[in-house]
Structure 1
Amino acid sequence: MSATILITGASSGIGRETASYYAQQGWTVYAVARSEDKLAALAAEHPEKIIPVSLDLTDYAAMQEWQASLPAALHFDVVLLNAGNCEYVEANDLDLDAFARTFAINFQAVVSSTKLLLPRLKAGNTLAIVSSMAHFFPFTRSEAYGASKAAVSYFVDSLRVDLSDSGIHICLIEPGFIDTPLTQKNDFQMPFLMPVAAAAKRIFDGIEAGKLRLRFPRRLAYLLKTLSVLPYGLRCKLAAKMKQS
């Protein structure tokens, strides 16, 4: 029997590319996203390997209903919670709805998906959750996105502690700039931009290797970690200067 993975946010970007990569390796992939059309197109590329699941991850009742419809004996070898979005905000007029939408998909959906899917994992299986390097450094207009990803990373690290006796492996994935439809909307320079196919392979290889945390591109990780350990005042001044440039 082939291994089975569930991937959220599988209709585009990292999620779609990773779903495709796993299918090419012979895995059965439950591809979860809202867009039926995009999921159908993905499934058509990988007959009998991709199982499309059209779900709104912010609709907990719908998620409960779908989870309850699965065979009781079904367990996933890997659950990859990848779905997310980015909305930039203006500090002089904070858009509360943008914060609500961003946290609903980037954080609350991660928590609710974890709650519903943990029973589908057993010792030796992996729960992998995608956060971002964005929370390493204060970037302009990123109050909503960066805060949501900081919340995700802390959630994953704390969850790992509390599940340490379960045998379930927890993997935190913190990408930098990946060439996806989401980042293609950005109107600023993105250092060390990585092709999405390379990101998918990094995720596959990292999970297979049992990594606790994946950060890529590595050069961006090193740069942001260096910036994060600067004296706080200098760090703030540098961030403000970067905003003006």
Structure 2
Amino acid sequence: MAKICLITGASSGMGRATALHYAAKGWQVYAVARSADKLAELAAQHANIKPVSLDVTNSVALAGWFAALPAKQKIDVAILNAGNCEYVEATDLDLAAFERTFALNVHAVVACTRYLLPALNLGNQPTLAIVSSMAHFFPFTRSEAYGASKAAVSYFADSLRVDLAATDINVCLIEPGFIDTPLTRKNDFEMPFIMAADDAAKRIFDGIAAAKSRLRFPRRLSVSLKLLGLLPYNLRNALARKMKQQ
């Protein structure tokens, strides 16, 4: 019997590439996203992909879908990948942008986790993977909403791992750098060490298969940001301001 993987934010970018990678490896994939049209296109790429048109910020619809899931359809790997980035202006903070960003990047992750836990294939070492970002490692300009949301979800994943330690659930925190997706193509600045979505999907598949508790890629960006984090606080802030001016 094929193993089952659920991926949110599967209609484009890294989520789409990961869904196709798992399907190609023989997994049955529940591909979750809001866009029914994009999901239909994705499902046409591989018979193992089952499209699920669902808004993960709608907790009522989310609970209903999991309640309707057949009891035998236990999930072996769940990848909570859905997310968005909105840049803001510090002198006129857009409260609605913060609400939208946290609704998808944080609150939806918590809601998905709540309804996923009973659906995981307990006893068979299932994985709950949560996608965050390296963005919260450094104070990037105009990233108050996005970076804060990713800091929150990374902490959530790490704390969740502690509280699920008595179970056989592997909580995997995924913190990618810049991935070539429709979202990052909107950026108007240089993105160092940007990685193809297919390469990111392979890293995710291999890392989860190896039961990693944390994945960071590309490594060169991870190392660079770690080194910046070792700088004295005032020097780090001065460097951030200088980068903003470039």
TM-score of the alignment, normalized to the shorter chain, above 0.5: yes
* Structure 2 counterpart of 1:225, one-letter code: K
User: Which runs of 5 or more residues in structure 2 are unaligned?
Assistant: none
**Counterpart for residue 63 of structure 2:** 64
Q: Provide the C-alpha distance between the structure 2 equivalents of 1:154 and 1:40, rounded to a whole number of angstroms.
A: 34
Q: Are 1:95 and 2:94 an aligned pair? A: yes
Partner of 1:33: 33
* Bigger Cα displacement from structure 2, 23-32 vs 71-80: 71-80
- The residue number in structure 2 matching 1:160 is 161
Task: Report what 2:21 is aligned to.
Answer: 21
Per-residue deviation at 1:40? 0.5
By how many angstroms is 1:3 displaced? 0.9
CA deviations 1:28-50 (Å, max 9, x no partner) are 00000000000001001102x00
* Counterpart position of 1:170: 171
C-alpha RMSD of the superposition:
0.6
Cα deviation code 1:157-208 (max 9, x no counterpart): 0000000001101100000000000000000000001011100000000000
State the one-letter code of the partner of 2:213: L
Are the aligned partners of 2:9 and 2:32 in contact in 1 as well (CA < 8 Å)? Answer: yes
- Contact 2:179/2:200, CA 8 A, preserved across alignment: yes
* SS of residue paired to 1:45: coil
Superposed CA deviations along residues 110-166 of structure 1, whole A, max 9, x for unmatched, are 000000001111131100000000000000000000000000000000000000001
Aligned AA (1:169):
N
* Equivalence for 1:6: 6
- Using the TM superposition, give the Cα deviation of residue 70 of structure 1 relative to its aligned residue in structure 2, in angstroms: 0.8
**Which residue of the partner structure matches residue 117 of structure 1?**
116
Partner of 2:53: 54
CA contact (8 A) 2:66 2:119 kept: no
Give the Cα separation in 2 of the matches to 1:160 and 1:103: 21
**Offset, 1:73:** 2.7
**Deviation at 1:74?**
2.0
Q: Write the distance in 2 (CA, Å) between the matches of 1:42 and 1:120.
A: 24
Amino acid at match of 2:50: I
Paired with 2:42 and 2:72, the residues of 1 have a C-alpha distance of 26
Q: Which moved more, 1:69-78 or 1:38-47?
A: 69-78
Deviations 1:203-230, CA, capped at 9 Å, x for gaps:
0000001111000000000000110121
Q: In the alignment, does 2:78 pair up with 1:45?
A: no
Runs of 4+ in 1 over 3 A off after TM superposition: none
The one-letter code sitting in structure 1 at the alignment partner of 2:23 is: A
CA distance in 2, matches of 1:58, 1:88: 20
* Structure 1 unaligned residues grouped into runs of 5+: none
CA contact (8 A) 2:178 2:191 kept: yes
What code does the residue aligned with 2:88 have? V
Alpha-carbon distance between aligned partners in 1 of 2:143 and 2:69, rounded to the nearest angstrom: 38
Q: d(CA) in 1 for partners of 2:6 and 2:55?
A: 15
Letter in 2 for 1:105: L
Q: Where do 1:107-146 residues align within 5 Å?
A: 107-121=106-120, 122-123=122-123, 124-146=125-147
CA distance in 2, matches of 1:238, 1:16: 35
Q: Distance in 1 between the 2:198 and 2:77 partners?
A: 19
Aligned equivalent of 1:105: 104
Separation in 1, partners of 2:37, 2:183: 18
